[in-house]
Amino acid sequence: MRTVTRDEGSVIRYFKDGNQIIYFKDGTITSTDHRRGIWTTINAKGVTRERNVRSKIVKDEIYHLNSQRKVDPETMAVVVIREDGFLKIDYPDKSCLMVFPDHTRIYIQKSAAQEEEAKVV
Protein backbone atom coordinates (compact mmCIF):
# COMPACT_ATOMS: atom_id res chain seq x y z
CA MET A 1 0.00 0.00 0.00
CA ARG A 2 1.17 3.51 -0.85
CA THR A 3 -0.22 6.75 0.61
CA VAL A 4 -0.05 10.15 -1.10
CA THR A 5 -1.02 13.42 0.58
CA ARG A 6 -2.16 16.14 -1.80
CA ASP A 7 -1.54 19.87 -1.28
CA GLU A 8 -5.25 20.62 -0.88
CA GLY A 9 -5.45 18.21 2.07
CA SER A 10 -6.80 15.03 0.49
CA VAL A 11 -5.20 11.65 1.11
CA ILE A 12 -5.02 8.90 -1.51
CA ARG A 13 -4.30 5.31 -0.54
CA TYR A 14 -3.21 3.00 -3.37
CA PHE A 15 -3.51 -0.73 -2.74
CA LYS A 16 -1.58 -3.56 -4.36
CA ASP A 17 -4.74 -4.89 -6.04
CA GLY A 18 -5.14 -1.58 -7.93
CA ASN A 19 -7.94 -0.19 -5.77
CA GLN A 20 -7.83 3.24 -4.16
CA ILE A 21 -9.44 5.11 -1.30
CA ILE A 22 -9.48 8.90 -1.39
CA TYR A 23 -10.20 10.92 1.75
CA PHE A 24 -11.19 14.56 1.26
CA LYS A 25 -10.93 17.30 3.86
CA ASP A 26 -14.72 17.80 3.89
CA GLY A 27 -15.23 14.19 5.05
CA THR A 28 -16.05 12.69 1.65
CA ILE A 29 -14.71 9.17 1.07
CA THR A 30 -14.31 7.70 -2.42
CA SER A 31 -13.23 4.12 -3.01
CA THR A 32 -12.79 1.88 -6.03
CA ASP A 33 -13.44 -1.77 -6.74
CA HIS A 34 -11.67 -2.34 -10.07
CA ARG A 35 -12.71 -5.99 -10.20
CA ARG A 36 -16.40 -4.96 -10.40
CA GLY A 37 -15.78 -1.57 -12.07
CA ILE A 38 -17.40 0.37 -9.21
CA TRP A 39 -16.58 3.78 -7.72
CA THR A 40 -18.34 4.40 -4.40
CA THR A 41 -18.56 7.87 -2.88
CA ILE A 42 -19.91 8.75 0.55
CA ASN A 43 -20.21 12.52 0.82
CA ALA A 44 -19.92 14.59 4.00
CA LYS A 45 -23.67 14.30 4.63
CA GLY A 46 -23.59 10.50 4.43
CA VAL A 47 -25.18 10.14 0.98
CA THR A 48 -23.80 7.09 -0.83
CA ARG A 49 -23.42 7.11 -4.62
CA GLU A 50 -22.18 4.24 -6.74
CA ARG A 51 -20.90 4.65 -10.28
CA ASN A 52 -20.43 1.62 -12.50
CA VAL A 53 -17.58 2.55 -14.83
CA ARG A 54 -18.41 -0.23 -17.27
CA SER A 55 -22.16 0.31 -17.66
CA LYS A 56 -22.10 4.09 -16.97
CA ILE A 57 -24.92 3.66 -14.39
CA VAL A 58 -24.95 6.03 -11.41
CA LYS A 59 -27.03 5.00 -8.41
CA ASP A 60 -27.76 6.94 -5.21
CA GLU A 61 -28.62 4.88 -2.17
CA ILE A 62 -32.09 5.56 -0.79
CA TYR A 63 -30.82 6.14 2.74
CA HIS A 64 -28.21 8.38 4.28
CA LEU A 65 -25.70 6.94 6.69
CA ASN A 66 -26.77 7.69 10.25
CA SER A 67 -24.70 10.11 12.25
CA GLN A 68 -24.73 11.31 15.82
CA ARG A 69 -23.85 14.87 16.84
CA LYS A 70 -22.70 15.64 20.38
CA VAL A 71 -21.25 18.72 22.04
CA ASP A 72 -18.49 18.29 24.60
CA PRO A 73 -19.67 20.53 27.48
CA GLU A 74 -16.13 21.07 28.73
CA THR A 75 -14.45 22.16 25.49
CA MET A 76 -17.57 23.05 23.44
CA ALA A 77 -16.15 20.95 20.61
CA VAL A 78 -18.79 19.48 18.29
CA VAL A 79 -18.31 15.76 17.65
CA VAL A 80 -20.00 13.98 14.73
CA ILE A 81 -19.76 10.21 14.40
CA ARG A 82 -21.06 8.63 11.22
CA GLU A 83 -22.29 5.04 10.83
CA ASP A 84 -19.32 4.07 8.63
CA GLY A 85 -16.81 4.96 11.38
CA PHE A 86 -16.00 8.51 10.22
CA LEU A 87 -15.41 10.93 13.13
CA LYS A 88 -15.24 14.73 12.87
CA ILE A 89 -14.43 17.10 15.72
CA ASP A 90 -15.00 20.83 15.18
CA TYR A 91 -13.20 22.89 17.82
CA PRO A 92 -14.27 26.39 18.95
CA ASP A 93 -11.07 27.89 17.43
CA LYS A 94 -12.37 26.75 13.97
CA SER A 95 -9.85 23.91 13.73
CA CYS A 96 -11.12 20.46 12.80
CA LEU A 97 -9.90 16.89 13.23
CA MET A 98 -11.27 14.14 10.99
CA VAL A 99 -10.59 10.46 11.66
CA PHE A 100 -11.53 8.13 8.82
CA PRO A 101 -12.60 4.48 9.23
CA ASP A 102 -9.05 3.16 8.73
CA HIS A 103 -7.73 5.68 11.33
CA THR A 104 -6.25 8.09 8.77
CA ARG A 105 -6.42 11.55 10.31
CA ILE A 106 -6.63 14.97 8.70
CA TYR A 107 -6.28 18.06 10.87
CA ILE A 108 -7.41 21.42 9.49
CA GLN A 109 -6.32 24.64 11.14
CA LYS A 110 -7.17 28.19 10.15
CA SER A 111 -4.42 30.79 10.22
CA ALA A 112 -4.83 34.35 11.46
CA ALA A 113 -5.73 35.31 7.86
CA GLN A 114 -8.49 32.63 7.94
CA GLU A 115 -6.71 30.51 5.35
CA GLU A 116 -7.09 26.76 5.78
CA GLU A 117 -4.08 24.55 6.24
CA ALA A 118 -4.69 20.80 6.17
CA LYS A 119 -2.26 18.28 7.63
CA VAL A 120 -2.32 14.51 7.76
CA VAL A 121 -1.50 13.49 11.31
Question: So where are the chain's domains?
Answer: 2-64, 67-120
Residue 100 has pLDDT above 80, yes or no: yes
- Give percent of the chain above pLDDT 70: 91
Pairing of strands 78-82, 87-90: antiparallel
Query: What confidence category does residue 112 fall into, taking pLDDT thresholds of 50, 70 and 90?
Result: low
pLDDT at 62: 75
Region 18-26 average pLDDT:
93
pLDDT at 74: 95
User: pLDDT tens digit string along 39-93?
Assistant: 999 998 899 999 998 898 888 877 789 999 999 999 999 999 999 999 999 999 9
Query: What confidence category does residue 14 fall into, taking pLDDT thresholds of 50, 70 and 90?
Result: very high
